[in-house]
Chains A and B, each alone.
Chain A
């Protein structure tokens, strides 16, 4: 962390190499936040780049009061929300609809492959969750991504989103519930989901 502070100070003084270190450290979380907020890799790539550019330009405003990650997540989520609102204001007939669908379809399969048949079902399930996320309200999408994908504690989510910790807790519960409802509505079998869950503890046996 002191190392990070050094890099931040150097970057604030205009050192591009120091900023490069910060990009390396945060490109995965920043990109994945953009990916879940927009639902497609093309936009996520653009927005992640925009977020880092804005971070570079605005770095002098970072005063070490909050964690750097908090500052960067907040900036990135603002970039994403601006983008989504702009899209809503100016809905365009996208020429990349096909691309979007393709990219939503081709999920990377990083894990050692299970049996092919299971793999197909598993991929379908992941696609369904990705699609359900896109139908979720922005705030729910953001808070779920920060919690589940970025693995942030409530405290940090609270400062990123300007909420009280208690609100984070209840909003996450509502977000999870809504996401589950969307999945059920679109005909997803949540029992299959649970059989893929790595958590063994609370499985229901019906």
Chain B
């Protein structure tokens, strides 16, 4: 056995990973080779010193980790409810705007059906000049709903009202054809990860085929794309504004 061959077995010896046969060969070589005996002694010493460098983790590491997790979890909920709040506020603006328009046209009080929709006690007697008050009161009501963390109700209410309004954001299916990931992220209001291969984490996720043949996988939380992006060094696109749902996407582009 050469000294070079012995080198690997020296290392294996220290790690208790040699087979009995390898160990016998090594001992035979060591008996005849002072240089390798010296090398083994040096390896043992370096290993021992390396091990002696082991330290206790900082006392506050554990608490800091748990605090960060609590904050992140709270932050995600807050982000979601904030967006729900925005959606409701926008929807209300549409309704109030319609009310104002109608009031202005008829020169009379707000119409009953629309105010009833808002379920504001004072609504039936609101004069044309009192939109501001109406808005304030309804927003207060919605805030109370959000405080009750009845998010579902608030979120469900949002899109319904949106649908009634003429929206500029409703149409752009055609843009998905280009598969601009940034555009896609904005459309979906969620992070979009771009990948050229099917990652194991995507395998069980719901998938849709876009018009250009690209596959869009729906990841089950909003942080999933961020995590995958870090794990695989894949590019991540973040939307101008996040949507209400706790999910993100992985975009599999044909190569």
What CA separation (Å) do A34 and B62 show in the bound complex?
15
Q: A24-B62, A27-B57, A31-B55 are in contact. Are A173 and B11 (CB under 8 A)?
A: yes
CB neighbours of A145 from chain B (8 A): 50
**Contact in complex: B41, A180 (CB < 8 Å):** no
> Smallest CB-CB separation from B64: which chain A residue?
A49
**Contact in complex: B48, A196 (CB < 8 Å):** yes
Number of A-B contacts (CB under 8 A): 155
What's the minimum C-beta distance from A76 to chain B, rounded to whole angstroms? 12
CB neighbours of A126 from chain B (8 A): 49, 52-53
> Smallest CB-CB separation from A173: which chain B residue?
B11
Q: A16-B66, A176-B11 are in contact. Are A202 and B227 (CB under 8 A)?
A: no
**Contact in complex: A54, B227 (CB < 8 Å):** yes
**Contact in complex: B50, A57 (CB < 8 Å):** no
**Contact in complex: B42, A202 (CB < 8 Å):** no
**Contact in complex: B52, A193 (CB < 8 Å):** no
A204 within 8 A of B: yes
What CA separation (Å) do A125 and B223 show in the bound complex?
44
What CA separation (Å) do A1 and B224 show in the bound complex?
27
Partner of A194, one of B30, B42, B70: B42
Tell which of A2-10, A90-98, A147-155 binds the partner: A147-155
CB neighbours of B152 from chain A (8 A): none
Partner of B38, one of A31, A147, A198, A206: A206
Main secondary structure of the interface of B (DSSP, over half): helix
CB neighbours of A20 from chain B (8 A): 62, 66
What CA separation (Å) do A69 and B48 show in the bound complex?
23
**Contact in complex: B61, A45 (CB < 8 Å):** yes
B201 within 8 A of A: yes
**Contact in complex: B42, A193 (CB < 8 Å):** yes
CB neighbours of A57 from chain B (8 A): 72, 221, 223-224, 226-227
**Contact in complex: A129, B46 (CB < 8 Å):** yes
> Smallest CB-CB separation from A203: which chain B residue?
B41
B140 within 8 A of A: no
A53 within 8 A of B: yes
| Best-surrounded residue of A35, A75, A129, A153 (most CB of chain B within 10 A) | A129
Q: A202-B30, A204-B37 are in contact. Are A53 and B201 (CB under 8 A)?
A: no
Type the 1/0 row for B15-50, where 1 means its CB is closer than 8 Å to any CB of A. Answer: 101000000000000100010011111111111111
**Contact in complex: B50, A129 (CB < 8 Å):** yes
Main secondary structure of the interface of A (DSSP, over half): helix
**Contact in complex: B70, A154 (CB < 8 Å):** no
**Contact in complex: A56, B69 (CB < 8 Å):** yes
CB neighbours of B73 from chain A (8 A): 16
B239 within 8 A of A: no
CB neighbours of B17 from chain A (8 A): 153-154, 169
| Best-surrounded residue of B65, B72, B220, B227 (most CB of chain A within 10 A) | B65
B230 within 8 A of A: yes
**Contact in complex: B57, A48 (CB < 8 Å):** yes
Q: What 20 new A-B contacts, CB under 8 Å, besides A170-B8, A177-B7?
A: A24-B62, A28-B57, A45-B58, A49-B68, A52-B65, A53-B69, A57-B72, A57-B224, A61-B201, A108-B55, A144-B50, A148-B51, A149-B51, A154-B15, A154-B17, A173-B12, A183-B46, A193-B45, A199-B48, A204-B40
Q: Which 4 A-B pairs have the closest CB atoms?
A: A193-B45, A173-B11, A31-B57, A194-B45
14 inter-chain pairs at a CB distance below 8 angstroms, sorted by A residue, are A19-B66, A30-B57, A32-B55, A35-B53, A58-B224, A60-B221, A173-B12, A176-B14, A176-B46, A180-B43, A194-B42, A196-B45, A202-B40, A206-B34
B interface list, Cβ under 8 A from A: 7-8, 10-12, 14-15, 17, 30, 34, 37-58, 61-62, 64-66, 68-70, 72-73, 201, 220-221, 223-224, 226-227, 230-231
